Amino acid sequence: MGKKLFLTAALLSLATPAFAADIIAPVPVKAQVPPQIFTWTGFYIGAHGGGAWSKWSGMDPTDPLAVWSSVTASGGMVGGQLGGNYQISNFVVGLEGSGAWSSVTVNAGGPFGGGAGFALTLKNDYIATVAGRFGVAFDRVLLYAKGGAAFTRDRYSANNGLAAALAGSASGSFNRTGWLAGGGVEWMFLPNWSVKAEYNYMGFGAITEQPVTTGNLVATPANVKLNIQTGTVGVNYHF
């Protein structure tokens, strides 16, 4: 009987630590993945469209009594953009290039003058920009300003409205380089997609435009200044 008690006590003493270890062993905890912090850093490509407004101001540089006259035009524009952002804390810096087809056109009057029956078509047929962007991010909303270079082209054609030997016409195409200042707001509504609304002002200094004439029409050179305003909405895909 004593031997049995001794063996039982020995077995219990051996089993107890293992049993206790099973009881107090910690339950594995699944590692928690920290939430991903949103950032605007990366490249993007997109499209935009909207309206544009141009104002040409011109005068005859050969006439000492000439005064500036102006004409305005409006139209639509549609194009695309490509750029990249880098976010530091809540601040975002970037560079963006854009190009758009434009239908900004005026079909009467203009800084080149004309008499009865005179017809003039003056337009900007493209608008392109290369600009830096500087913004403040509020999570998925970005408020930004931008500034840089702008490019466009003045294209015009004219005729004097006469027939036969009295008929005459003129045409010209002049590329321009100027500056841009603007700003906008962008919202990342899906993980890789954003929408934006933007306003830009572009200024182009005076250049001398001399049209090519045919027939019974004489055109004097003109100093022509230009400014363009645009209001657009767009969408971007972010890589």
- Collapse the DSSP code of 107 into the 3-class scheme (helix H, G, I; strand E, B; otherwise coil) and give the result: coil
Identity of residue 111: P
Higher local confidence (pLDDT), 205 or 62? 205
Domain boundaries along the sequence of the chain: 40-238
All residues at 6 or more sequence positions from 35 whose CB lies less than 8 Å from its CB, including other chains: none
Tokens of 48: 């935009």
Higher local confidence (pLDDT), 110 or 86? 86
Q: What is the pLDDT of residue 24?
A: 55
Percent of the chain clearing pLDDT 70 (strictly above): 81
pLDDT class of 111 with cuts at 50, 70, 90: very low
In the predicted structure, residue 27 carries a pLDDT above the cut 70? no
Scored b (16 or more CB within 10 A) or e, 170-189 reads bebebebebebebbbebebe
Q: What is the pLDDT of residue 83?
A: 98
Most confident of 14-23, 99-108, 126-135: 126-135
Mean per-residue pLDDT for 40-57?
Answer: 97
Q: What is the pLDDT of residue 33?
A: 60
Q: What is the pLDDT of residue 196?
A: 98
Question: Cα separations (Å) of 205 from 33, 52, 65?
Answer: 56, 18, 21
All residues at 6 or more sequence positions from 122 whose CB lies less than 8 Å from its CB, including other chains: 56, 71, 73, 105, 106, 110, 154, 155, 156
CA distance 103 to 128: 14
Question: Cα separations (Å) of 44 from 211, 224, 238?
Answer: 41, 36, 4
CA distance 159 to 97: 37
How is domain 40-238 classified at the architecture level of CATH? Beta Barrel (2.40)
Tokens of 50: 């909207």
Higher local confidence (pLDDT), 64 or 83? 83
Q: Please return the burial class of 165, using the count of CB atoms within 10 Å of its CB with bins 0-12, 13-18 and 19+.
A: exposed
Which DSSP string do the residues of 65-82 spell out, in sequence order? T---EEEEEEEEEEEEEE
pLDDT class of 93 with cuts at 50, 70, 90: very high
Q: What's the pLDDT tens digit per position in 144-167?
A: 999 999 999 999 888 887 888 888
**Which residues on neighbouring strands pair with residue 46, listed in sequence order?**
81, 236
